[in-house]
Structure 1
Amino acid sequence: MAEPSALRGWQGRLTYLVLALAIILLRLLPLNTIPPGPVVPPDLLLLITLVWVTRRPDYTPVWTIAVLFLLADLLFQNPPGLEVALVIALTEALRRRAARLREAPFWIEWMTVTFGIVLLVFARRAVLVLFAVPQAGLPAQLSQMVMTILCYPLAVGIMYLVFGLRRPAAGEVNAMGQRL
């Protein structure tokens, strides 16, 4: 029989995967045929990924993030691989800082994630401009960026209340005995 901590790890990975696939599916459904107004909704896939990586990096392996964002790029007809590369760079930077963020107050975590989202949006925009790829207007991208940043605390709260996603306690170990 599997140890409870190992089972919890697989359950966390599966929960993230199912949640991300549900967000991709919901974005594909034609629920709203009216173009968005001046306020664009947040990027939910990026939002939940950043919440899971900062809170429980052991539940979000890099290959899972890469496959999910590549799938999203292909389904939403974005340049394949660009979002994957940028999100992987951001999540790996956050993963390296996860131990320090664990002991920091929430506002520092939020500002770290905010800085990463801003860098991601402007890096994406710069690469698309460099290769002359058509893209949404700057106000729409800035609106989505601001909404994603503002929804981060709400997403953290929802993930904690609904899925029990929390920061690992100091000294907590995974199933292999490694410190989290």
Structure 2
Amino acid sequence: MVDPATAARLSHRLLFVALAALLIFLRLLPLSSMPVRWPGPDLLTCLTFAWLMRRPDYVPALIVVAVFFIDDLLTMRPPGLWPLLVLMATEFLRSREVFLRDLPFALEWAVFAAMVMVMTVVDRLVLTLFMVPQTGFDLIILQVLSTLAAYPLVVLANIWLFGLRRLPSGQPDTARGRA
């Protein structure tokens, strides 16, 4: 028999991969032939951080890197840089899971905003260092703002649709065998 905690963890991991695949597919759809005036949010980053802040055991590092690397390849970004930055940010937050469990949502949103801004600045700096052609800085700022604005909606959708809630402070994390 499969342990219920293990089954729940595996089913949530598959759900995360399915949601990521759906978001990548929707991003690739040619919805308009007009130039972009206001870029949409990076919902994949929002989804990853929303899941990581609530249940880090549902989004292991290997899945995060694989999903973002596939996203890089399909969207024709320089492969590997954004997955590396997301991995570094998620592992930074994962190592502070105990402190993040009790944060009110406003502080969680601020932590997410700080991570996205740092990742974006480092991404721009590395691409500039290697002289990779980039989009305009104004479009990047607009995308960061729309990503930050979309985060509460993504969190709310995950709580309502999938019941993705944080573990209370006193409840042990059965997936890792610690409190």
Output the TM-score relative to the length of structure 1. Answer: 0.94
Q: Which amino acid aligns with 2:19?
A: L
Indicate the residue corresponding to 1:33 in structure 2. 33
Q: In 2, are the aligned partners of 1:55 and 1:98 still within 8 Å (CA)?
A: no
Indicate the residue corresponding to 1:77 in structure 2. 76
* Shift in Å, 1:92: 0.7
SS of equivalent residue, structure 1 residue 78:
coil
1:117 aligns with 2:116: yes
Counterparts of 1:165-180 in structure 2 under 5 Å? Answer: 165-170=164-169, 171-175=171-175, 178-179=177-178
Q: In 2, are the aligned partners of 1:3 and 1:175 still within 8 Å (CA)?
A: no
Percent identity, aligned pairs only?
39
Indicate the residue corresponding to 1:61 in structure 2. 60
Q: In 1, are the aligned partners of 2:43 and 2:150 still within 8 Å (CA)?
A: no
Identify if the C-alpha distance between structure 1 residues 106 and 33 changes in structure 2 by more than 3 Å, giving closer, same or farther.
same
* Shift in Å, 1:107: 1.1
Please list the CA deviations of residues 80-107 of structure 1 after superposition, one character each: whole Å capped at 9, or x if unmatched. 1111111101111111122211112111
* Shift in Å, 1:32: 2.2
Residues of 2 paired with 1:49 and 1:175: CA distance?
Answer: 19
Please list the CA deviations of residues 123-166 of structure 1 after superposition, one character each: whole Å capped at 9, or x if unmatched. 00000111110011000000000111111111110100011111
Indicate the residue corresponding to 2:130 in structure 1. 131
Indicate the residue corresponding to 1:162 in structure 2. 161
Computed over aligned residues only, the root mean square deviation of the Cα atoms, in angstroms, reads: 1.2
Q: Which runs of 5+ in 1 are unaligned?
A: none
* Shift in Å, 1:27: 1.1
* Shift in Å, 1:57: 0.5
List, as ranges, runs of 4+ consecutive aligned residues in structure 1 with deviation greater than 4 Å.
Answer: none
1:8 aligns with 2:1: no
Q: Which amino acid aligns with 1:144?
A: Q
Q: In 2, are the aligned partners of 1:20 and 1:45 still within 8 Å (CA)?
A: yes
Query: Number of matched residues?
Result: 178
Please list the CA deviations of residues 31-87 of structure 1 after superposition, one character each: whole Å capped at 9, or x if unmatched. 2222221x2110011110111111110000100011111111111111111111111
Output the TM-score relative to the length of structure 2. Answer: 0.95
